[in-house]
Amino acid sequence: MNFDQYTATASSSLTEYHFTSSGPKGEFPKIVQYSYLEEELAINLAFGLLKEDGTIDDTFRTGNGDSDKILATVGNTVLAFTEKYPHAPVFATGSNAARTRLYRKMLTLNKAEVEKIFVIYGRKD
C-alpha cells in the first residue's frame, strides 16, 4: 500500500509511536500505543490525540481532513510492531460505532493488500 502518511517516531520497544497531524485546523500530537490485553490474549492498538497529561483522547477530531493519512500512519506502525512481534495478535476497535465503521471500511478497501501480510478476524459483539 502506497498511501501518504506522517513520519512517526517509535519507542525502542516499538510499542509506542508519536506523530503530528498537520492541517488547516493546526498541529495536533498523535500517539499509537500497543499494550497487552490479558482478557483477549491479544495486543490492543490504541491511538488518538496525545493529551498534555500523557493520556490518549481517542474521541477527538482534528478537523484537518487527514484521516486517511492518519490511518495510513497507524497502519505503518502495525507493520513495524508485527515485524518485531510476529506472533502477537493485534486487536483494534473504534471508540464509537462510526469510527469502527471507518476502520472496517479502510480494511475492506485495502483487503487484498492487507491479506497478503495479515490474517484478519472480526467479531460482532
Q: What tens digit of pLDDT does each residue of 86-114 get?
A: 999 999 999 999 999 989 999 999 999 99
Strand bridging mode 26-37 / 16-23: antiparallel
Decide: 41 and 89 in contact? Cβ < 8 Å: yes
pLDDT of residue 91: 92
pLDDT tens-digit readout, 31-66: 999 999 998 889 999 999 999 999 999 999 999 999
pLDDT of residue 3: 85
Amino acid at 90: V
pLDDT tens-digit readout, 74-90: 999 999 999 999 999 99
Decide: 45 and 58 in contact? Cβ < 8 Å: no
The single residue listed with the C-alpha cell 478497501 is 109
Could you give the C-alpha distances from 10 to 6, 39, 52, 65, 78, in angstroms and in order?
12, 26, 19, 24, 12
**pLDDT tier at 124, thresholds 50, 70, 90:** confident
Q: Helix or strand or coil: residue 17? A: strand
Per-residue pLDDT for 70 more than 60? yes
**pLDDT tier at 1, thresholds 50, 70, 90:** low
pLDDT of residue 14: 97
**pLDDT tier at 122, thresholds 50, 70, 90:** confident
